[in-house]
């Protein structure tokens, strides 16, 4: 994907990039709690070898939690978040996931544009409700959303 002067690549995170992802989440106001157990299903967007975006999945059988979708401020509005989310959904499908949930306070319209719909927290799959992000990292005011794959 072209974004500005350099091509953006999307790939699985490497251990050398963990710190960059955590910094991006902090800059974006997103929680990192619980992410450490899910690095294997974390994707990054790289531009000029720098992490400019991230998205992660917490996999729970046929359900998953999409989390940590973030794009560096100067790179927003270039389609990076859409590409990261699409790649994460492809990864979910490859793992046999049928329902992808998320929690958001700031981007319900963005995710609605990708097919997610609001649901009550009580309607979220029980395994997902046990995730650190669901239990303690995201405030109760965060909107739960669902996409059926």
| Per-residue pLDDT, 133 | 82
Domain spans, the chain: 2-148
Complete edge-to-edge strand list for the sheet that includes strand 50-60: 2-3, 6-12, 42-47, 50-60, 63-71, 99-104, 143-148, 117-119
- Of 109, 17, 34, nearest to 68 by C-alpha is 34
Q: Is the pTM of this model over 0.75?
A: yes
Is a pLDDT exceeding 80 seen at residue 136? Answer: no
pLDDT tens track for 79-127: 999 999 999 999 999 999 999 999 998 899 999 999 999 999 999 999 9
Tell me the pLDDT of the chain averaged across its residues: 91
Reduced to 3 states, what is the DSSP secondary structure of residue 33?
Answer: coil
Percent of the chain with pLDDT over 70: 94
- Work out the number of other CB atoms within 10 angstroms of the CB of residue 93: 13
pLDDT tens track for 46-68: 998 899 999 999 999 999 999 99
How far is the C-alpha of 125 from the C-alpha of 8, rounded, in Å?
34
Say yes or no: domain 2-148 is CATH 3.60.20.10: no
């Amino acid at each position: 994907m072209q974004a500005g002067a350099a091509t953006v690549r999307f790939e699985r995170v490497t251990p050398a990039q963990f710190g960059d992802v955590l910094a991006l989440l902090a800059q974006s106001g997103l929680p990192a709690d619980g992410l450490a157990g899910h690095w294997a299903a974390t994707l990054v967007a790289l531009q000029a070898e720098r992490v400019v975006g991230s998205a992660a999945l917490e996999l729970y059988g046929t359900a998953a939690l999409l989390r940590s979708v973030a794009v560096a401020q100067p790179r927003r509005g270039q389609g990076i978040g859409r590409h990261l989310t699409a790649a994460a959904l492809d990864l979910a499908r490859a793992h046999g996931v049928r329902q992808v949930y998320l929690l958001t306070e700031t981007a319900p319209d963005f995710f609605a544009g990708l097919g997610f719909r609001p649901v009550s927290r009580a309607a979220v799959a029980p395994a997902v409700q046990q995730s650190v992000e669901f239990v303690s990292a995201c405030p109760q005011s965060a909107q739960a959303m669902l996409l059926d794959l």
